Amino acid sequence: GENVEQHPSTLSVQEGDSAVIKCTYSDSASNYFPWYKQELGKRPQLIIDIRSNVGEKKDQRIAVTLNKTAKHFSLHITETQPEDSAVYFCAATISGGYQKVTFGTGTKLQVIP
């Protein structure tokens, strides 16, 4: 089955700096990679996703890159703000059908004002 590793487990950055979270996956059949933000006690919220037919996707201050050959993908947050503080999860799955989603172990991001 799929195995997703995520690093780092914790990340502290100064407000305004950039944050990068990296994930690797094992199943070359995976073709959909969502990223979720989870605040304490709340549901994970999809913040950005990328499909295997593109290498990079950007949405304002958030961007995701994918390297299919190396089987790794990364989340980039620029100009971080205190409200970006949360736990971020990467995930990998095969889009369509009844494929389950495999989550990374999470990264606790703290943005210091």
Partner 1 sequence: GAVVSQHPSRVICKSGTSVKIECRSLDFQATTMFWYRQFPKKSLMLMATSNEGSKATYEQGVEKDKFLINHASLTLSTLTVTSAHPEDSSFYICSARGDRALLYGYTFGSGTRLTVV
Q: Count the Cβ atoms, other than its own, within 10 Å of residue 79.
A: 11
User: Which one among 66, 84, 89, 92 touches partner 1, defined by CB under 8 A?
Assistant: 89
Q: Is 90 helix (H, G, I), strand (E, B) or coil?
A: strand
Residue 101 has what DSSP assignment? Answer: P
Distance of alpha carbon 93 from alpha carbon 55, whole angstroms: 16
User: Which one among 14, 41, 53, 60 touches partner 1, defined by CB under 8 A?
Assistant: 41
Using the contact rule CB under 8 A, the part of the chain among 23-31, 54-62, 76-84, 85-93 near partner 1 is 85-93
Residue 108 interacting with partner 1 (CB under 8 A): yes
Q: Count the Cβ atoms, other than its own, within 10 Å of residue 103.
A: 18
Interface residue list for partner 1 (CB under 8 A): 32, 34, 36, 41-46, 49, 89, 91, 93, 95-96, 98, 100-106, 108
